[in-house]
């Protein structure tokens, strides 16, 4: 079957199998930032924005993405540059496998929530696991980012 | 001492943040084969017979390995040091499986679907042994 979607504002018309997940389509399109780890929507490394909302692309059927706009970190690099830099300064990036997905969720949170409390931040970011950093560095970076960019 | 008590941003941090190719999967050439492993459903068993004929015939399958056709080399599952101090206590593939998930066969195929399909076509006869509970 054939679907039409945009990936980072570029129109794509792709042939898929009914069981293909969105991750497969994105990876085949040459995007390197989106990773796959658990394959069960548990870890968040495959996060992409679908019409601006973070979703786990490993468990989202490609067919359902027909007609939608997909954004990966490559598509919002300018917007995410500041928080990415802060993450780096705060020691929140170790192996870096989870970072692109995490940054996408942070950007979605910033667009959606106004002045979130620490609890609200943690709730919003709960789906993006990081096995290296211990989360404290990430939280410091996110708080700084929201403070500075307010 | 001028670096003490100062944060130093990670050199590759920004590249990793923005998903620049860095991991094995990013660097794999387009025509890389996909490997899948058939694993034991038993905690302890002897492989009485293993038939890979159908799997080998499947289109896209390039290689099927079992204990019958790999060299009987002992290996270690650790691998942090050189020379490696950990015990070399495991054959690459063996006639015996010693835990649920122990490797029985490896398949290399042109794509993931063919490799998965080939796994289903391997016929294994087990002689299931008693397993001591701890």
Structural domain ending residue among the three candidates A74, A93, A125: A74
Interface residue A100 vs chain B (CB under 8 A): yes
- Indicate the pairing of strand B45-51 with strand B96-97: antiparallel
> Please, which residues bridge with residue A74 across strands?
none
CA distance B88 to chain A (A): 29
- Please state, for a pLDDT cut of 70, what percent of chain A lies above it: 100
Q: What is the ipTM of this complex?
A: 0.88
Are B19 and A100 inside 8 Å of each other by CB? yes
Q: Looking at residues B102-119, what average pLDDT do you find?
A: 96
Nearest to A101 by CA among B15, B17, B14: B17
- Sheet-wide strand order for A69-71: A10-15, A2-7, A69-71, A47-50, A53-56
CATH code of the domain in which A40 resides: 3.10.20.30
Do A19 and A70 lie in one domain? The reply is yes
Nearest CB partner across the interface for A88, out of B9, B20, B25: B9
Do A69 and A82 lie in one domain? The reply is no
Residue A95, domain extent: 76-149
Do A35 and A92 lie in one domain? The reply is no
Instruction: Report the run of H or E that residue A49 belongs to, with start and end.
Output: strand A47-50
Nearest CB partner across the interface for A99, out of B9, B17, B21: B17
The residue of A79, A88, A104, A130 whose CB has the most chain B CBs within 10 angstroms, and thus the best one to mutate to test that interface, is A88
Confidence of residue B7 (pLDDT cuts 50, 70, 90): confident
pLDDT (0 to 100) of residue A150: 78
Domain count, chain A: 2
Q: Which of A125-129, B81-85, B86-90 has the lowest mean pLDDT?
A: B81-85
Structure-token pair, residue B129: 């042994």
pLDDT (0 to 100) of residue B24: 86
Structural domain ending residue among the three candidates A48, A74, A100: A74
Per-residue pLDDT tens over the stretch B85-102? 889 999 999 999 999 999
Per-residue pLDDT tens over the stretch A3-39? 999 999 999 999 999 999 999 999 989 899 999 999 9
Task: Identify the architecture of domain B30-128 in CATH.
Answer: Alpha-Beta Complex (3.90)
CA distance A89 to chain B (A): 5
pLDDT (0 to 100) of residue B134: 54
DSSP code at position A58: G
Structure-token pair, residue B56: 């080998």
Structure-token pair, residue A114: 């106004």
Nearest CB partner across the interface for B18, out of A77, A94, A95: A77
Q: Looking at residues A76-80, what average pLDDT do you find?
A: 94
């Amino acid at each position: 079957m054939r679907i039409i979607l945009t990936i980072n504002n570029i129109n794509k018309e792709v042939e898929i199998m009914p069981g293909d997940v969105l991750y497969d389509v994105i990876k085949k399109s040459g995007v390197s930032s989106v990773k796959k780890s658990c394959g069960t929507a548990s870890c968040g490394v495959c996060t992409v924005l679908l019409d601006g909302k973070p979703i786990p692309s490993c468990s989202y059927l490609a067919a359902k993405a027909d007609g939608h706009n997909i954004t990966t970190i490559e598509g919002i690099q300018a917007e995410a540059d500041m928080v990415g830099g802060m993450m780096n300064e705060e020691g929140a990036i170790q192996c870096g496998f989870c970072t692109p997905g995490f940054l996408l969720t942070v950007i979605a949170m910033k667009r959606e929530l106004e002045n979130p409390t620490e609890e609200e931040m943690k709730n919003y970011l709960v789906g993006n696991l990081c096995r290296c950093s211990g989360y404290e560095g990430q939280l410091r970076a996110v708080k700084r980012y929201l403070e500075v960019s307010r | 001492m001028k670096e003490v008590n100062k944060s130093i941003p990670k050199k590759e941090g920004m590249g990793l943040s923005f998903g620049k190719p860095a991991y094995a999967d990013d660097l794999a050439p387009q025509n890389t084969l996909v490997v899948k492993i058939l694993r034991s459903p038993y905690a302890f068993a002897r492989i009485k017979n293993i038939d890979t004929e159908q799997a080998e015939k499947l289109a896209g399958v390039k290689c099927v390995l079992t204990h019958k056709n790999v060299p009987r080399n002992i290996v270690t599952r650790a691998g942090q040091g050189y020379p490696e101090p950990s015990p070399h206590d495991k054959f690459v593939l063996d006639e015996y499986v010693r835990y649920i998930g122990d490797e029985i066969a490896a398949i290399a195929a042109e794509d993931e679907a063919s490799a998965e399909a080939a796994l289903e076509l391997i016929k294994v006869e087990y002689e299931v042994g008693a397993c001591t509970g701890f």
